[in-house]
Amino acid sequence: MDLFVVRGSTPLSGEITVAGAKNVALKAFVTALLTDSEVTLGNIPHIGDVVAMGEVIKSLGATVDITSHTARIHTPKKLVSRVPLELGARLRASSLVVGPLLARVGNAMIPNPGGCRIGARPIDRHIQGLIRMGAHIRYHSEDGYFHAQAPDGLHGVTFEFPKNTHTGTETLILAAVLAEGTTVLKNAAEEVEIDDLIGLLSAMGAHIRRSGAREITIDGVPSLHGARYSIAPDRNEEVTFAIAAAITNGSVVVHASQPKALDAFMTPVLAAGGGIQMIDAHTTRYFRKRALVAGDIMTAPYPGFMTDWQAPWAVLMTQARGVSTVHETVFESRFSYVQELQKMGAKIAFYDPAVTNPEAFYNFNWGDRVNGHHQGIRITGPTTLHNAILDITDLRAGATLLLAALVAEGESFVHGVAHVDRGYEHIEDRLRALGAHIKRIKEGDI
């Protein structure tokens, strides 16, 4: 296993270009299963999750050729309809293939995607919608698979999600584009990654549009054709580099910037003392404008403050004067990084925000919580972080601990690099290009 050795407290400065969005690339690969013509995808990031999704669709019969940042995907007329358990277990987004398999083959076996360290992450909302579209779906605990059939094909339906679900919305879009008739999704997610998926599907001949607030209408078509499509940049990467600039008191110019997708991030960062300079429509400079001050955030589905941003934000707040709070409302267990920051001297305490009707208020199913889960943390700053031996447990927490190590005094050892490689392209090379003292070594080389 690799680990990062990071020597901290160096201001980062320079320019980076944001890579293609992980949470678009994964779904774009799945979308290619909807046609037996070739789909060419541009701006594909070189990250572990994309390689893993390539393995998933190859296991179903697709050919995948990734050269530089372009993926050419071709699926045969006859697809395999069962995702290998070990592949499905590695990548939660593999469950998204259920729609295209039901649409093209009439049946599908997908592993229970399971949760990871951020919560139970069931797919009950996805399944509810597919059943309403005519699928028969049962979970067999003895083999760990969802068994799905749609012998008469899928048909259009008006379906209202009980609560927001980003990939649940995508699952039903992917199932509806080839269904018989019109599907109207209500209380549909509005994350910008879904708009990119809609763009790709439209390029392939799908009839799909956002027909109102939190509403998507899809008119099923008999088939889709191939397309060439370049995916959007990754807004989570941009937020990570923006915070890296503010926290190290540096200055980072971000190319392929998407300020319009980051409204909910810009406001609290400016209030906290961060600096943001729009150089042009897709180039933004991030820096620290004045001494950092504490600020409160609460995560929410788009257009709210994204749950993926709260971990790097928490590191920023360790360097801010005052007491900050982070209220996580999307996932029930997204503070795994806290104990690692506490090892570095961060003053963070858990608390449970007073919420009158938690089942209605929280995006996760309230019954999925287990003892020890908290929805809030209080951060007292500023604190001088010192070096430590750190363990990464999930993707976004990984980038967070790198940020903390960049600020800390001394040399930190950050284990679990594979988590960061899942979602960030060549992260150490790009941080080093900004002046960071970071290197990747093998466990045995310590």
- Which sequence positions are flagged as catalytic? 116
Among 330, 344, 346, 403, binds ligand EPZ (CB under 6 A): 330
Q: Which position among 8, 11, 119, 398 is part of the footprint of ligand EPZ (CB under 6 A)?
A: 119
With CB under 6 A as the contact rule, which of the stretches 82-90, 343-351, 360-368, 413-421 interacts with ligand EPZ? 360-368
Q: Which listed residue (364, 390, 402, 430) binds ligand EPZ by CB under 6 A? A: 364
Is residue 363 involved in binding ligand EPZ (CB under 6 A)? yes
- Write the burial class of residue 114 (CB in 10 Å: 0-12 exposed, 13-18 middle, 19+ buried): middle
Contact characters 64-103, ligand EPZ, x per CB under 6 A = -----------------------------x----------
Q: Tell whether residue 166 is a contact of ligand EPZ (CB under 6 A).
A: yes
- The residue (of 36 and 234) whose beta carbon lies closer to ligand EPZ is 234
Amino acid at site 300: A
x/- letters, 373..402, toward ligand EPZ (CB under 6 A): ----------------------xx------
Contacts of 89 (CB under 8 A, 6+ apart): 111, 113, 114
Q: Does 123 bind ligand EPZ (CB under 6 A)?
A: yes
Where does this chain touch ligand EPZ (CB under 6 A) — which range of 98-106, 141-149, 164-172, 341-349?
164-172
Is residue 172 involved in binding ligand EPZ (CB under 6 A)? no
Q: Closest approach of Cβ 332 to ligand EPZ, in Å? A: 6
Q: Does 44 bind ligand EPZ (CB under 6 A)?
A: no
What phi, psi does 380 have (nearest 5°)?
-105, 125
Indicate the residue among 91 and 150 with the shorter CB distance to ligand EPZ.
Answer: 91
Comparison of 116 and 221: residue with beta carbon closer to ligand EPZ: 116
Q: State yes or no: residue 359 binds ligand EPZ (CB under 6 A).
A: no
Residue selected from 25, 26, 73, 208 as contacting ligand EPZ according to rule CB under 6 A: 26
List contacts with ligand EPZ (CB under 6 A). Answer: 22-23, 26, 93, 119-126, 164-168, 191, 307-308, 330-331, 363-365, 395-396, 423
